Every structure is written in C-alpha cells, then in structure tokens.
Structure 1
Amino acid sequence: MENVKVGIVGLGRLGKVHAKNLANLVPNCELYAACSLVEKERKFAKEKLNVTLTYDSYEDMVKDPNIDAVFIVSPSGFHCQQIKLAMENGKHVFSEKPLGLDVEEIKETQKIIQEHPDQIFMLGFMRRFDESYRYAKEMVNKGALGEITLIRCYGIDPSDGLESFVKFAMNNNSGGLFLDMSIHDIDLIRWLSGKEISKVWAIGKNTAYPQLDEVGELETGAALLRLSDNSMAILVAGRNARHGYHVETEIIGTKGMLRVAQIPEKNLVTVMNDDGVIRPCSQNFPERFRQAFVDEAKEFINCILENRQPEITAFDGLQSTKVALACQESFEKDELVEVNNNDSK
C-alpha cells in the first residue's frame, strides 16, 4: 500500500482540524473523500483540501472500494453505528471520543471491532500524544514520583464558546459535561496510573446560564474519584474560563510531584505594559494540542502500514465512558456511585 486513502465524516471545528492534518501534514496519507450533510462543508473539502470525492451519505462513502480507512468526527451519538458500518465494509477506523453514549452499545461495538482483527481501530485520545503528557508518563513509568497518591485534572473551555453551547444544549444531547469534556481527563487518569476507577462522587453548578438546569447540562462540574488501589483523583470541568482554554494536570506521588501546563501558555512571549506582566494563553483545544492531533493521525496511518494495533483501544473508550456516565449519575442523584469494572478487554 503506497498511500492510505482516507475518507472523513464530519467537518465541524474538530473535523476541519483532522481534515487539514490528513491532507497536508500526515505522510503516506491521502485525504481521498469527505462526507457532510452541509453543502458548505463539502465545498470546503473539495476546494480547500482537494479531496477527490465528497458525499452527503456516510453509507455511500464507506462502500467506496478505493477508501482504505475512515476518520469519524461526527456527533458522538453516531459513532457506534458508523464504526460498525465501516468495519463491515472492510475499512480501518479512527473514531473521535467518546466511543459512544450508551455502555451496552459500546460493548456491542467492541465485539464488532474484535471480530475484525485484521482491521485497525483507534480512538481519539490525543493527549496521549502530547509531548508534555508523554514526558509525564515516562516519569511515572520509571518511578520518579514513587507511588501515585493523587491526580488532579482541570479541563475548562474558554467562555467565548459558552453562549453557543447553551443554544446547542437546549436542543441537543451532548452526553453531559463529564462525557463531553472530562473523558479526556478520565483517560489520562487511567493511562497515567495504570488503575481503573472504582467510585465517583460529582457535583456541579450553573451560574452564568442557570437555564442549563432545565436540560440537565452543566457549565461547571467537579468529581472526586477513587481508584482501584485507593489512590485518588479530582476532576474539574467547565465551559467558562475567561482567560482562554485551561488544561492542567497534577500528579502527586510518594517521591515527588509534577504539574503539566499550570499556566496554559500559548508561546514563550511575555508582554510587559500598563496591564502588568502578561503571558498569552492558548484560546482553544486545536491550538493547545495542535501537534498532538497531527501525531495521533500519523500513528493511525503507521499502524495501518505496519499492520499493528495502536495502544488506545475500544476498551479504553468503554472504561472512560463508564466513568463519565457514573459522574453524571452521581451529580443527578447526589450520591456516591460505584463503577462496574468487570468487563473484559
């Protein structure tokens, strides 16, 4: 296989990030096709990315024999069905997180993936490809921090997107704050610690937009997690960071601690003026994790070319989703919730 021909479904904000990377920055990859219900997005793919074909039907795209792999960047509720269709049509599959919104549907999807061992499947937990997080993982693995006792994660979107999210939430199901946003942090906790999460207790509050109470959504939430070895984790998720996109992770161990991105710095520039000393901040996730998105796409293509499965699996998607849903349940019921970890890999 000289070049892997890829078809992408979904050309929203994240879809465009992936599409541009696949078209311009990933070796041995050809962005061959793009699928969207929106004519403007199909036109963008044709004119700006020079894709060979555009589709308004995903079913038609995955039947194209010229396509080797699909990138699924559609709304979360479509992921499981689209993975199934792609697998049944012999395609390798990259799917953005979450794997799905329903645990039983995810389990069925996991079975389908396992029934096609010659096809590559990869889930989009891009933080595992970020240079800083990979360094933190290396430190943990070599025992530099000793035994982990606590992991703290912040994931807060910039406030300039909150109003548009409120409009979306009044008519659509995002899966809830913890599934929509904290799932990256949940995956990091599992990846960094090597442990499963056994119990969660979550709380939250809507302040800027109390109307989110009506649809069971949150603008700010927090959760306390117990891991299988009784170590702890704290999640803070939100949609209202005034300074920009704020992602921060702290790992505390018996021999030391480390912190990733205490300040979400955009670059190495420091501005000194009448407002004081200012460090510019990343304003969104495509900017903060620009290289990580490229590197995860490279890994997917390399896995296809080298005929090997990636480290991130459907099981990772299942476990992270279970924890996120447990956090949502805990918030809604205002009680401690146990996470069922009896499912096999």
Structure 2
Amino acid sequence: MINIGIIGAGRIGRLHAENMQHIPNVKIKGISDVMIAQMEDWAKEKNISIVTDNYEDLLRDPEIHAIFVCSPTTTHAEIIKKAAAAGKHIFCEKPVSFSVEETVEVINEVEKAGVKFQVGFNRRFDPNFKRLHDLVQQGQIGTPHILKITSRDPKPPTIDYVRTSGGLFMDMMIHDFDMARYIVNSEVVEVFAQGAVLIDSEIGKAGDIDTAVVTLKFENGALGVIDNSRQAVYGYDQRVEIFGDKGAATADNCRPTTVELSTSDHVVKDKPLYFFLERYSEAYIEEVKQFVHACMDNESVLCSGFDGLQAQRIAKAAQESFEKGVPVKVEF
C-alpha cells in the first residue's frame, strides 16, 4: 500500500483523488488546500483522514509516502523542495515552475534527496499517442520527417485564469512541446512562433494570445508544426500526425461513438469529446498508475523532471520568438 497526500484541492486535485479511489494499493491519507473548509464534506466521502489548510502537515506525516502537487504553479517549486527534503516521492502538475532556472534548482534538490519525481504531462499516457510513439520507436514509419500537432480548446479560460497562467505557450502549448519530444524522440533545437488575438480581445488586454502556430526544428533533422486555438466551436480538437520515409501514422479525435451516418443529404459523425477531462480520462488514470508503480517497485518514472524542464525551455524559446518575430534557438 502507498499512502498519498494531495496538495491543492482544485479541479485537477479532486480529479486525481477520484481516480485514485479505483487504483489498487493506493490510499489517499491527506489533502491540503487554503480553501479546505469548503472541501471537508467531499473529503469525508472519500475517506480522507487528514484535511488541512497547511500542506506541511502532510509532509510531516511519516505514513505518507508520496505527494501530489496540484496547487497553483507559483507554489510548485517551494512545495517540491520541501517534499523532497521530507523524503516524499513527488508527482507535480505541469509546469514545474515559470522559471527555467527555478526548475533546474528543483530537479537538483529532488535528485539530491533520491526520491521519485514525475511531471504531469498526461498525454504521454493516452493510448492513441502512446501508440504513435511506439510505432516510431519500432521503425514502422522509418525516419521521422514531419510532425503535425493540432490542439484546440472548446472555449477560452476565464480572464482571471489567463492573467496567472504564464501565457499560451507555457500553459497550453507546453503539452504539445512535450508531445513533440516524446513522439519524434529528439530534442527541439529551434522554434519560430507566431500568435494573435482572434477570439477574445480581453485575452489580449490581459497580455496573452489565443491563437498560435509554432514551427519546430529537431536535433535529428525532422521538422514540426503545432497549432493552438483557445476556441474550437465543435469540441476539443486533439490530432497528431507523424510522417516518415516509410509511411505515416495519425491519431484522430476521440468521439462519443465511431458511428458515421451517410445519406443523400449529408455525411455525419459525432463531434469530438468536449473537454480534456473526458478526452484524457484514461490517460489521467494511467499516469497515476505508472507513478505508483515507479514508487513501489523502484522503477524510473515515465515522465521525469528533465522532461518537464525541456518542455519548459521550448515554451520559453517560443515566447521569445513570438515577441521578437524571429526563430529562436532552444537553450540547453
């Protein structure tokens, strides 16, 4: 049995807690949030014995083996360092921080403590995208030449969220930067980013963009293109194609059913699943299972602090490229 403490009882913290109820050998012993008074009834329903507004209560508990960091990004680095010093294994939602230098510092502290550290890039654990990764690894498409990733949300986040998100590249496209490294199995060495405010002028006033296209150059010579939009009116649009000298592999959108109706008037199929909680429900469960496995069997995690750092470095370069209007090398 592995005892878990969850720091941050917002949407993603509660999602992990719900999923852990169905994972063998996992017990949520405690949960912490500054607004925890509003979560007490919910926590009681989940048989969570420690409910606190001070996350250090969880770090001090010798029976808690691992910590899930699901709090705002600005708090991640401090919590991770303290959790590592307390000897806890750590799962952290992306990004590790908003600063490359701070993330490097965090990784050094984790390595010094000798604990497991997994970053929550859940898309690696999606069966469709993992299949693409495996096909590339097996040589089924030959040498990768072109990667295309489309990632579009069904509706924009709130303006309050936008103001504290770190920007589209760090908040949204960072998932796609990780996916690019994961599928092509090569580092991104240069990016060229273009962006615009085409959906909501308030997003622009908050200092962000809602639409972006980024081209990538990989260390192995492959090229990539990512497009993001904060609003796809037809649903959550998540598609990936990898093309090589022996063929191509594509992961299409997930839909409620695979039924396609064809008549003399039209051809109709279901819209894509509406939001990330539906689209990646299986991936969220699998990433927790793999983290628990790594902790209990002393195996390597499948999405490390280094992976988080590399995606963050690409996001930083993309932001710089967008601001300067020129391609930017990714600093390693």
Distance between the aligned counterparts of 1:205 and 1:10, measured in 2?
32
**1:50 lines up with 2:41 in the alignment:** no
Distance between the aligned counterparts of 2:143 and 2:311, measured in 1?
22
In the superposition, relative to structure 1, how do residues 298 and 41 fare at CA in structure 2: closer, same or farther (>3 Å)? farther
Higher deviation after alignment, 38-47 or 85-94: 38-47
| Superposed displacement of residue 272, structure 1 | 7.8
Contact kept? 1:157, 1:240, Cα under 8 Å: yes
Distance between the aligned counterparts of 1:265 and 1:291, measured in 2?
14
Counterpart pick for 1:102 among 99, 102, 111: 99
**1:128 lines up with 2:119 in the alignment:** no
Identity %: 31
Contact kept? 1:158, 1:240, Cα under 8 Å: yes
Which residue is equivalent to 2:16?
A: 18
**1:69 lines up with 2:63 in the alignment:** no
Counterpart pick for 1:306 among 297, 304, 307: 297
For structure 2, list consecutive stretches of 5 or more residues without a partner in the other structure.
none
For structure 1, list consecutive stretches of 5 or more residues without a partner in the other structure.
none
Per-residue displacement from partner, 1:68-117 (whole Å, max 9, x unpaired)? 11111111221111111111111111111111110000010110111022
Residue identity matched to 1:144: Q
In the superposition, relative to structure 1, how do residues 44 and 192 fare at CA in structure 2: closer, same or farther (>3 Å)? farther
Residue identity matched to 1:43: E
Per-residue displacement from partner, 1:45-89 (whole Å, max 9, x unpaired)? 423312111111112221122211111111122111111111111
Residue identity matched to 1:26: I
Distance between the aligned counterparts of 2:261 and 2:96, measured in 1?
41
Residue identity matched to 2:234: H
Residue identity matched to 1:301: V
Which residue is equivalent to 2:159?
A: 166
Contact kept? 1:202, 1:328, Cα under 8 Å: yes
Residue identity matched to 2:107: Q
Aligned runs of 1:204-223 on 2, under 5 Å?
Answer: 204-223=195-214
Contact kept? 1:6, 1:70, Cα under 8 Å: yes
Contact kept? 1:103, 1:318, Cα under 8 Å: yes
Per-residue displacement from partner, 1:114-168 (whole Å, max 9, x unpaired)? 1022x22111111111111121111111111011011111111112xx2x42243
Equivalent residue pairs, number: 331
| Superposed displacement of residue 196, structure 1 | 0.7
Residue identity matched to 1:32: K
Aligned runs of 1:76-155 on 2, under 5 Å?
Answer: 76-117=73-114, 119-155=115-151
Residue identity matched to 2:110: I
Please state whether the residue corresponding to 1:158 is helix, strand or coil.
coil
Counterpart pick for 1:259 among 250, 275, 297: 250
| Superposed displacement of residue 276, structure 1 | 6.0
Residue identity matched to 1:266: P
Contact kept? 2:36, 2:52, Cα under 8 Å: no
Distance between the aligned counterparts of 1:195 and 1:158, measured in 2?
30
Counterpart pick for 1:177 among 168, 176, 187: 168
TM-score using structure 1 length = 0.91
Which residue is equivalent to 1:281?
A: 272
Contact kept? 2:89, 2:116, Cα under 8 Å: yes
